[in-house]
Amino acid sequence: MSTNKSQNLKLHLWEPEDNFLRTEFNENFSAIDAALKAEADQRTALEQRVASTGHVIGSFTGNGSTQTITLGFKPSFVIISGQVTPASSWYYLNNLIVCASSLGEHFQRIATGFTVKYITNATTYTNREGITYAYLAFR
DSSP sequence for 88-118: SPPB-GGG-EEESS-BTTTEEEETTEEEEE-
Task: Enter the pTM of the model.
Answer: 0.56
Region 89-114 average pLDDT: 61
pLDDT at 103: 56
> What contacts 15, CB < 8 A, 6 or more positions away?
3, 4
pLDDT at 47: 74
105 or 69: which leads in pLDDT: 69
Average per-residue pLDDT in the chain?
Answer: 80
Summarize pLDDT for 43-57 with one digit per residue, the tens: 788 777 767 778 888
Rounded to whole angstroms, the Cα distance separating 12 from 19 reads 12
Answer whether residue 96 shows pLDDT above 60.
no
pLDDT at 17: 93
